[in-house]
Structure 1
């Protein structure tokens, strides 16, 4: 899989360099964008490793959990559990990854497919890095952990301790808002723009609804995931727009001097005067 991603990335970068048309609103650079995607994929690998090594709860810790300790806005979701809604949430989640192909139909967009692919890879690598590292570093039980009818083994599982933040919603939101942003930039006079943006909001909102019902995330987890994904999906194309060369956004992670852990992680936004 990693080899296929690397090959696709290289082909997309090369194709974008040789096929950028004058009508494209974006500019890409082989070295800068290559470094961005490589860093993003590296941080994704780090985040996945952190998630895999994340400890679960002991039985005593599970029994000590109290719904009254949860924020009021989230308390009503504590104990939610639905396998059906969990499985259903994967349909719009996976479908959202194809949105840039389905809703970028103009000739100008087809001619710049390689360039758009690079921006899309950057978007998904960035939001993926933010999610995996955060999910690996932050210990927060999912709503289903508060469901006393579930087996203790499932409530204690380390996968049940990464509620913050909503990764499905973040990824879906990033893909949907990226699609809407690129569609508008290539088709600024299209009458379809309001409908495309409406869809960009509705799809991740529906995923968030299902993830909340399934007991995978609290409401605030999904709201934050929605915001992170939307911001990434909009900002990545925006900083590549012609005339915005001084604006930069990239995933970051800073380690302790002794190498024992991570101090900070997230997105860095910079503007060079």
Structure 2
């Protein structure tokens, strides 16, 4: 009988060890379907508004250049910046950021829930994109290169894209991707010693994109800071809002020795809340 109990304990332990890892998140098709669908609709609305924006006239451009000193002190130093090389360089970390969360597929715990995580990731990016496109469509802030009087042509300043400085979509999307990846890694591995380094990398990449976008003359400092904040909030809070909050019971095999030196095996009941 003693050996039978030990064998039963080994079998139960093996089943627990070989079971699929538990996800800290829950996906609800109805709620998340509405959320994602609304975000996609928001993107379509934002793109429609942008398509109907009026570009700057020559008179508006000349007036902005003449009033350059009226720009707030946080942004004034960026006015007039223009660099195609910096603009092209900013696309590299921007593109890499989208792939960063897919590194979770190499993680034994996270890749058991790859479809769920892909859904959360898509939901995060769609949310950030909707917020950005609507804001870019409703605002009409000149990009820093509009104030450039030597390198940037007047024709390029008269395009609709010149009115879309506020806020930085590159930085927002990058922050969403990297903060999402860092948040998910931490939730699956809360005790991992590399969590601080993962967060450091998540914070550094959108900062690098922001610096290059300012050097390129695409955005002012406040555009970058707001884009960073918006993207980081979405990247962090979408996974956080999906974390399981309901109480649950679980059975865990345990083996130990009592006060008298006798070995015992048991099944412990755990209540998590």
Query: TM > 0.5 between the two?
Result: yes
The equivalent of 2:164 in structure 1 is: 162
On the 8 A contact 1:104/1:183 being kept in 2, the answer is no
What does 1:103-252 align with in structure 2 at a 5 Å threshold? 103-149=104-150, 150-243=152-245
Deviating above 4 A after TM superposition, structure 1's stretches of 4 or more consecutive aligned residues are none
Residues 153-162 or 214-223, more deviating: 153-162
Counterparts of 1:73 and 1:114 in 2: how far apart (Å)? 43
Counterparts of 1:214 and 1:165 in 2: how far apart (Å)? 15
Cα deviation, 1:52-94, whole Å, max 9, x if unaligned, reads 2111011011000121121101000000000000011111111
Counterparts of 2:52 and 2:99 in 1: how far apart (Å)? 31
Q: TM-score, normalised by structure 1?
A: 0.80
Structure 1 residues 49, 194: CA separation in 2 closer, same or farther (over 3 Å shift)? Answer: same
SS in 2 for 1:139: coil
Kindly state the Cα deviation for residue 244 of structure 1 after the two structures are TM-superposed.
7.6
On the 8 A contact 1:109/1:186 being kept in 2, the answer is yes
Counterparts of 2:91 and 2:76 in 1: how far apart (Å)? 25
Cα deviation, 1:6-27, whole Å, max 9, x if unaligned, reads xxxxxxxxxxxxxx95610001
Cα deviation, 1:157-216, whole Å, max 9, x if unaligned, reads 110111000000000000000000000000111111011000000000000000000000
The equivalent of 2:268 in structure 1 is: none
On the 8 A contact 2:20/2:112 being kept in 1, the answer is yes
Counterparts of 1:206 and 1:101 in 2: how far apart (Å)? 20
Quick check: which has more Rg, 1 or 2?
A: 2
SS in 2 for 1:72: coil
Residues 164-173 or 153-162, more deviating: 153-162
SS in 1 for 2:119: helix
- Give structure 2 stretches of 5+ with no counterpart: 1-18, 248-273
On the 8 A contact 1:238/1:244 being kept in 2, the answer is no
On the 8 A contact 2:144/2:218 being kept in 1, the answer is yes
On the 8 A contact 1:177/1:233 being kept in 2, the answer is yes
Counterparts of 2:49 and 2:21 in 1: how far apart (Å)? 43
Structure 1 residues 100, 244: CA separation in 2 closer, same or farther (over 3 Å shift)? Answer: farther
Counterparts of 2:39 and 2:113 in 1: how far apart (Å)? 23
Kindly state the Cα deviation for residue 105 of structure 1 after the two structures are TM-superposed.
2.7
The equivalent of 2:253 in structure 1 is: none
The equivalent of 1:17 in structure 2 is: none
CA RMSD of aligned residues (A): 1.5
SS in 2 for 1:25: coil
Aligned length: 226
The equivalent of 2:45 in structure 1 is: 46
Structure 1 residues 195, 104: CA separation in 2 closer, same or farther (over 3 Å shift)? Answer: farther
What does 1:83-102 align with in structure 2 at a 5 Å threshold? 83-102=84-103
The equivalent of 2:35 in structure 1 is: 36
Counterparts of 1:97 and 1:177 in 2: how far apart (Å)? 11
The equivalent of 1:252 in structure 2 is: none
Q: TM-score, normalised by structure 2?
A: 0.80
